Structure 1
């Protein structure tokens, strides 16, 4: 689809500068460049700035927090990429910092509205939940934040070699982990997921998971299994979750989704029947929603249905379906 890369976290064209990841001298020069900047991350939250927290709060590479040893999984910056002028952008984890006041109940909730402000950072900055601000960020800031969250999260969960169990070490400017014990190399994990706009006539199939806000429905989704095509995964997941057979399937758009490490493949599928039989272990409910009802839901005027979260590819696909711009 023509608008595919307008999805949140997509389309900024970041130069990831893979050619300098293994070049120690080039990395040292990039870090010493006065124009280089760093994105601080705290427990998966990027540092944001501004009255509306609508931009990344990038700091200089000489900031004391970068040498304070506050990272949990890694203690050194990760190279995110290089801007057009040549200045590098890094990410650095300070998750071992403990704010004086911390609402543990808000952390990790569906809508985490809490903000954490570090005393050594500017007053107009705060660490905020990426899902809450993702639609307010520029495409470049969104891509940087998603990349930083995903790569630092990968290091936090993959400290040990999957082959022999020994602790591995960071390499390639954060894009690899090496095991000295068995010489195995490990690379960032990305989990492929299909999310599908299943239609029949003028209606779309929607489902909801337990724990979602009341009335919220989204498109069905599921992980692609080994040895499976995207098309087969779409048909299998819809049948497993809702008991609806699907015929023709086509790819629409993709979205990196760093919660924690997925790549969402948006697909369109044609349902061959409308009867729904849900698997209660998979989803809480499923229903067919007409185009008219979905338009009412998007306008915030439907009495029972709330649409998918803004910024998620489900919202993006539904929006394009309503506008007739899927091609």
Structure 2
């Protein structure tokens, strides 16, 4: 058992032990009512012997009996509710279906004939501009075939697609990179443009940006894992693209995600933001960095803050997480970190940062009102 799990269990035990005995009183009352209704229905002759005996027992014995009955009732109720939820949960059914597609090549190959496809060209997603909005089109299998027939390589490109999700109605979604084909022909045929993902994430809606980020990360991983690191022999992806196998060595490779912390440091009244030389003019961000081997999140936060701005973190708490495709597939783990106001003098590491300073609340509010530069651009 790992330490995190042990701490969770200790907290659970502590919380449970602090609950009062009166927590069971509503359950005992329910049990009494159920048993009384049972007795009135069956009459004195048909009443269970346990209920007749219960009437002459002490209060303590009755409470013990009622607790047992309540526990049985709760167990049956929870079991029935759990089974019902599993049978009727759209999310569970969808996840089970996706897992089947990943594990069964023939089923996934069949799904490609009825699925939808997101197009990429050298990892640039395809967008269409409709009015002032940018949309991410999903091509049907028939539309994909029409486009690819112009290059006479239909089956080859369908096989290169990767599974990235499905709808609640179990319509599978795939992504395919057509980087070896003529970009202008595809753009002209579909009346859109392949766009840098860093720009696309700012101009499409949140749901589409998440799909594009995941799809690009998976396509990038396949592009960079064409050969086995042990034998040098070509690897082969399964139909869904959830893994690659080297048949010479028997090694199976799975897509990997690198954990990264992004930390908003505060001294209680201000927050600390920094910028790197590669940032666009005027852009500041929270401190961030990759987790080193053997580190947990807390250790990474403390190390990064110490390395980059020379401050010692007094306390921290988790906030949220997000997949981030740059520079490759990353899991951004967002945290809040607190430093002592008396020890808040910044000692910036100029090898990593160009600037770092404290921002007041008014500055942050004003900065968040500004539109991202990419959203002001018209060409996709």
**TM-score between the two structures when normalised by the length of structure 1:** 0.76
Please provide the CA RMSD for this pair: 2.8
**1:48 maps to 2:124:** no
Shift of 1:245: 0.8
**1:22 maps to 2:103:** yes
**Contact 2:157/2:176 (<8 A) preserved:** no
Higher relative contact order (CA 8 A, sep 6+): 1
Q: 1:161: which partner in 2? A: 228
**1:57 maps to 2:124:** no
**1:271 maps to 2:350:** no
Shift of 1:141: 2.0
The 5 A counterparts of 1:1-327 are 15=94, 17-33=98-114, 36-51=115-130, 52=132, 54-62=134-142, 63-64=144-145, 65-66=147-148, 68=151, 76-99=160-183, 118-121=187-190, 123=191, 125-171=192-238, 173-259=240-326, 260-272=328-340, 273-300=343-370
Q: Secondary structure at the match of 1:280?
A: coil
The structure carrying a bigger helix percent of its residues is 2
Unpaired stretches in structure 1, ≥5 consecutive residues: 1-12, 101-115, 301-305, 311-327
| Cα distance in 2 between the residues matched to 1:214 and 1:228 | 33
Q: Secondary structure at the match of 2:344?
A: coil
The verdict on how the C-alpha distance between 1:75 and 1:185 changes in structure 2, with shifts beyond 3 A counting, is same
1:199-236 CA-partner distances (Å, limit 9, x unpaired): 00211111110121222110000001111110110010
| Cα distance in 1 between the residues matched to 2:298 and 2:172 | 39
Shift of 1:70: 9.7
Shift of 1:190: 0.8
Q: How many residues align?
A: 274
The verdict on how the C-alpha distance between 1:149 and 1:70 changes in structure 2, with shifts beyond 3 A counting, is farther
Larger Rg: 2
**TM-score between the two structures when normalised by the length of structure 2:** 0.66
Unpaired stretches in structure 2, ≥5 consecutive residues: 1-90, 376-380
The verdict on how the C-alpha distance between 1:242 and 1:250 changes in structure 2, with shifts beyond 3 A counting, is same
Shift of 1:133: 3.1
The structure carrying a bigger strand percent of its residues is 1
**Contact 1:73/1:155 (<8 A) preserved:** no
**Contact 1:117/1:127 (<8 A) preserved:** no
